[in-house]
Amino acid sequence: MNFDIDLSVKIAGITMKNPVMVASGTFGFGREYNDFYDINKLGALATKGLTLLPKQGNPPPRIHETPAGMLNSVGLENPGIQKFIQEEWPHLSKLTIPIIANIDGDTVEDYHKIAKKLSILANLAALEVNISCPNVEKGGLAFGQEPESAFEVIKAVREATKLPIIAKLSPNVTHIQTIAEAVVSAGADAISLINTLLGMAIDIHNQRPVFHRNFAGLSGPAVKPVALRMVWEVHEAVNVPIIGMGGITTWQDAVEFILAGASAVAVGTANFVNPMVPIEIIEGLKTYLYLKERKLQDLIGAAHDTVPGT
Ligand SMILES: Cc1cc2nc3c(=O)[nH]c(=O)nc-3n(C[C@H](O)[C@H](O)[C@H](O)COP(=O)(O)O)c2cc1C
């Protein structure tokens, strides 16, 4: 069925033709997925996390399957921004969808520098500032666990660029609302959450942790209830658009996140299981809105309404 349903959303000044994105680190720079479908059908694409210099990432194993999810310890392997600009940007910039560069740094100064360097790219839609990576020695998660350091990173990026800033938050905190308020007061235009939850696995044969860094990031359906709760909480705390992610596998999951307060959703781990998931979600959303006779805009945060269905 082809319903004439408007799925477009505007987030931090970025117009997306639908609210379904792909999550950083689960879609590379888009090349591999073009074999499955035209990736211009997506709402937007978030690149693999980029650092100033190339990063080799962590030694294997990097992935471990868990019931209803996976642990990863990739460690931000990426080509660095110079190679990104030379080798990946030419093909990314030809896409017709908004491209969001996910950035990471060891220091506040790193974030400032990388934001400045990427700001020269015409057509780059936004920066997603990862202050939540659990798999690196320095920076990453450490910045996202305290409101003061979260504020400092976003402020430094704000000073470096006019691009819209999406702050990517970590679920590994006690009060997500305090972190959300800090990044918004530092100049974030939108918030994405959640990154992965800290977890671990132990190999019972050699009686040692599976991962070299002991802990790794849990993602996939297992984290969805946690992610949904955090989107709900952040929606109540701040007034900027939210990109919800964490275990989204079906259109029904996406609808839950939107009702909790997400203006857009991102598909991560599910891409590894079924590359068609983002497309299936777009189609499912259309059918849902058609049958419910509702506009997408009216559904955002609607589960908070005191009178259901208003
Ligand atoms: C293998 C892997 C690599 C990831 N790399 C990044 C990254 O580079 N930057 C980032 O902000 N998030 C990264 N993430 C986190 C995802 O973007 C997403 O926030 C998280 O996995 C929750 O969504 P999901 O359960 O749908 O995967 C990565 C996740 C996975 C599974």
List the domains of the chain with CATH numbers. Answer: 9-304 (3.20.20.70)
From the list 92, 101, 133, 176, the catalytic residue is 133
- The pLDDT value recorded for residue 141 is 76
Site to substitute for ligand 1 among 20, 26, 248, most atoms within 8 A of C-beta: 26
Give the atom of ligand 1 at the shortest distance from the alpha carbon of 247. 25
Pocket lined around ligand 1, Cβ cut-off 6 Å: 23-26, 48-49, 72, 74, 76, 102, 130, 133, 168, 194-196, 219-220, 223, 245-248, 267-270
Atom of ligand 1 nearest to the CA of 223: 25
pLDDT given for residue 4 in this prediction: 81
Provide long-range contacts, Cβ within 8 A and 24+ apart, for 289-293.
Answer: 289/3, 289/5, 289/7, 290/3, 290/5
- Stated pTM of the model: 0.97
Q: To which residue do tokens 């320095």 refer?
A: 138
pLDDT value at position 307?
74
CA distance 128 to 191: 9
pLDDT at position 190 is 98
- Average pLDDT of each block of 10 consecutive residues along the chain (310 residues)? 83 96 97 94 98 96 97 95 97 97 95 97 97 72 90 97 98 96 98 97 98 97 98 98 98 98 98 98 97 96 82
CA distance 196 to 115: 23
**Residue 129 structure tokens:** 């500032």
Nearest CA to ligand 1 atom 10: 24
| Residue 76 falls in the annotated catalytic set | no
Please tell me the predicted confidence (pLDDT) of residue 104: 96
Residue 69 confidence (pLDDT): 97
